[in-house]
Amino acid sequence: MKAYERLLKYVSVHTKSDDDSQTVPSTARQFDLAKLLVEEMKAIGIADAHVDDKCYVYGSIPATPGYEAKPALGFIAHMDTAPDFSGEGVKPRIIEDYDGGEVVLGDSGRVLKPADFPHLKNLRGRTLIVTDGTTLLGADDKAGIAEIMSAAERIINENIPHGRLLVSFTPDEEVGRGADNFDVGHFGAEFAYTVDGGQENVIEYENFNAAGVRVEINGFNVHPGSAKDIMINALLVACEFNSMLPSGETPRDTEGYEGFYHLCDISGTTEHAAMEYILRDHSAEIMKARKATLLHIEKLLNAKYGEGTVKVTIRDQYLNMAEKIKPCFHLIDNACEAVRDLGLEALTAPIRGGTDGARLSFMGLPCPNLGTGGYAYHGPYEHITVEGMELATGIILGIIGKYAK
């Protein structure tokens, strides 16, 4: 079965995760895809395929006789789709010989435009898969699952020589919990790749250091007619707090290795207000400076309005996996060679976000990220090409071949 055919099957299963849920997994519906995948894995010859009680799917392919000493290599993708947009009732549309122009997305009123997504012109002539504009597609990361499954099927059916191979499909990556209950020891890989990126020829091994921040502001509310030098309007203090951050260091204003402060939510009344930020930076030192900036603003505003007016709480989320990948850079060299073997230019790029692989790398499983061929994730403009998925599958096979040598 082709990778894109698997994708079309998988996206019909609703697997959106829930950031507000405290259950594991965050949504029980993720088990629907997990069970389907276990059945399919067994059907193609992965005899030990199983799903555990936390919705992690595991399976292994024994090494080809004589290749047992080769490194045990893993491939990982996630089953959930982003909470940002609907993932239920996905209706994919296949456009053969795409002309590189605008695509009307069903009756949604939305249009996929090269003006918004300049890379579309490079997809001219390919077979494009899009949504009807009312849901996301789910290629993030069901395309990764499909490509791993298709590569595994070819490895088994075509008797391609290989060391021991490990496969896992995880829940809740989109809500930052995909590695929480991943059993590295049970998985059994020495090295692994997540298949959860974008353009198929891009390999990623650097990601943001990340932290979440909550700012609590306690105001003092009295009648506005007699508020002179007494009232402390928590909402205005919140605005003042935000105005003291560097105005050009937001997601809209940054790219590449540049970090940012991102105000995600603000709510409150005169009496009390709260703000939620995320901090991101590739540099650990600059990340420390960003945290220090927030704490300095807290200090200044408390000196101005009274101790306890502002409280900043910072929670580290994940770290830049580059420090764990660089000592085993063969992971990147072999992936780049596999890309070039298919006639593509091998590119490396920093991830302006994080992956399960970042956390897994710090859990003892070095794990860079491969592209799936998908674009515009997390929304109705998500799209992918049949050809990109075939190339991504070929890159997985190429990497397996490198480690079998």
pLDDT of 317: 87
Q: By the 8 A CB rule, do 349 and 197 touch?
A: no
Active site residue 19: no
Q: Say if pTM beats, i.e. exceeds, 0.85.
A: yes
**Strand pairing of 191-197 and 73-78?**
parallel
pLDDT by residue for the chain (405 residues), tens only, comes to 999 999 999 999 999 999 889 999 999 999 999 999 999 999 999 999 999 999 999 999 999 999 999 999 999 999 999 998 999 999 999 999 999 999 999 999 999 999 999 999 999 999 999 999 999 999 999 999 999 999 999 999 999 999 999 999 999 999 989 999 999 999 999 999 999 999 999 999 999 999 999 999 999 999 999 999 999 999 999 999 999 999 999 999 999 999 999 999 999 999 999 999 999 999 999 999 999 999 999 999 999 999 999 999 999 988 999 999 999 999 999 999 999 999 999 999 898 887 899 999 999 999 999 999 999 999 999 999 999 999 999 999 999 999 999
For residue 44, give every residue at least 6 positions away whose Cβ sits within 8 Å of its Cβ, in sequence order, or none: 149, 152, 153, 156, 157
User: Residue 43, Cα to own-chain centre: how many angstroms?
Assistant: 29
Phi-psi region of 239 (alpha: psi -120 to 50; beta: other; left: phi over 0): alpha
Domains of the chain, with CATH numbers? 3-206+320-404 (3.40.630.10), 209-318 (3.30.70.360)
For residue 319, give every residue at least 6 positions away whose Cβ sits within 8 Å of its Cβ, in sequence order, or none: 209, 210, 284, 358, 362
User: Alpha-carbon distance 259 to 353, whole Å?
Assistant: 10
The active-site residue out of 132, 140, 141, 173 is: 173
pLDDT of 84: 85
pLDDT of 163: 98
pLDDT of 176: 86
Beta strands in 148-208 (DSSP E): 165-170, 191-197, 202-204
Active site residue 173: yes
94 to 4, 6, 228, 405: CA distances (angstroms): 10, 14, 65, 38
The active-site residue out of 80, 141, 172, 390 is: 80
Q: Quick check: helix, strand or coil at residue 112?
A: strand
pLDDT of 353: 81
